[in-house]
Amino acid sequence: MSEQLPFNSASYFKWLSQQKIMGCRNRTSGKFYFPPRPMCTSSYTDDMEWEEVSGEGVIIAFTVITVAPTLMIEAGYGRDKPYCAGIVRLTEGPAISAQIFGLDMANPASIKIGTHVKAVFIDRGEDEAKRTYLGFEVAK
């Protein structure tokens, strides 16, 4: 399916629903984009190819959120069930925002930047609104 998919966020989420974490590489500049983009902002060409990432990385910044937005309240989070949102730098270089699991949410000061994490897939929403999102959990 890879060659037919346009290089954009819709395709990124389509890949995620198949448990594949895909970025794209521009053949002209060699630059790697994660998440994928339709155009290389270095060479200004659209000569892209899909490239899978390992899903491994480290936490470079994080927060533990107790006052949640509607989306997360609907997923059961809030004051009684805080969650970690963070930025993870992938082994391949780029970084991405994601929910991170497996940390001590009651003790955010114990969470360390540099902690190794690996990708997990989060299903959110019901029926037609159901979507798979990229998350991470602490690597064993």
Partner 1 sequence: MDVKKLKRGVSLVGAGMTPFGTFPGLNTRDLFVQAFRDLQGSVDKGFDPKDIDALVIGNYSSTMFEGQNFMAPYVADAVGLTPIPASRVELACASSGLAIRQAILTIASGLADVVLVGGLEKESDLPIARVTDVLATASDSVYENPSGFTFPGLYATLATAYMHQYGATPETFMQIAIKNHENGVLNPNAQFGARISDIMASKQKSAEKRGKPIPSWADEMAFLKDEKANPTIAWPMRLFDCSPVSDGAVALLLVADEIASSFTDKPLHIIGYGQGSDVPTYERETLTSIKAARVAAKQAYATAGVTPKDIKVCEVHDCFTVAELIAIEDLGFFKPGEGHKAVAEGLTTRLGPRPINSSGGLKSKGHPVGATGAGQVVEVFKQMRGEAGPRQVPGDLNLGLTHNLGGSGMAAIVHIFERRH
Number of alpha carbons in the 13 Å side-chain half-sphere of residue 93: 9
CA 13 to chain CA centroid, Å, is 10
| Cα–Cα distances in angstroms (integers) from residue 59 to residues 7, 10, 52, 65, 69, in the given order | 26, 25, 20, 16, 22
For 1, counting Cβ atoms within 10 Å of its Cβ (0-12 exposed, 13-18 middle, 19+ buried), the class is: exposed
Find the binding residues for partner 1 in span 7-36 (CB under 8 A): 9, 35
* Interface with partner 1, residue 61, by CB under 8 A: yes
* Interface with partner 1, residue 96, by CB under 8 A: yes
* C-alpha–C-alpha distance, residues 82 and 75, integer Å: 11
Q: Which is nearer to partner 1, 3 or 126 (CB)?
A: 126
* Interface with partner 1, residue 62, by CB under 8 A: yes
We find the least distance from the C-beta atom of residue 55 to partner 1, in angstroms, to be 15
* Interface with partner 1, residue 77, by CB under 8 A: yes
* Interface with partner 1, residue 1, by CB under 8 A: no
Per-residue tokens: 60? 């470079």
Place of tokens 């053949």: 27
* Interface with partner 1, residue 53, by CB under 8 A: no
* Interface with partner 1, residue 124, by CB under 8 A: yes
Chain positions contacting partner 1, by CB under 8 A? 9, 35, 60-73, 77, 79, 82-83, 85-87, 94-99, 108-109, 113, 124, 131, 133, 135
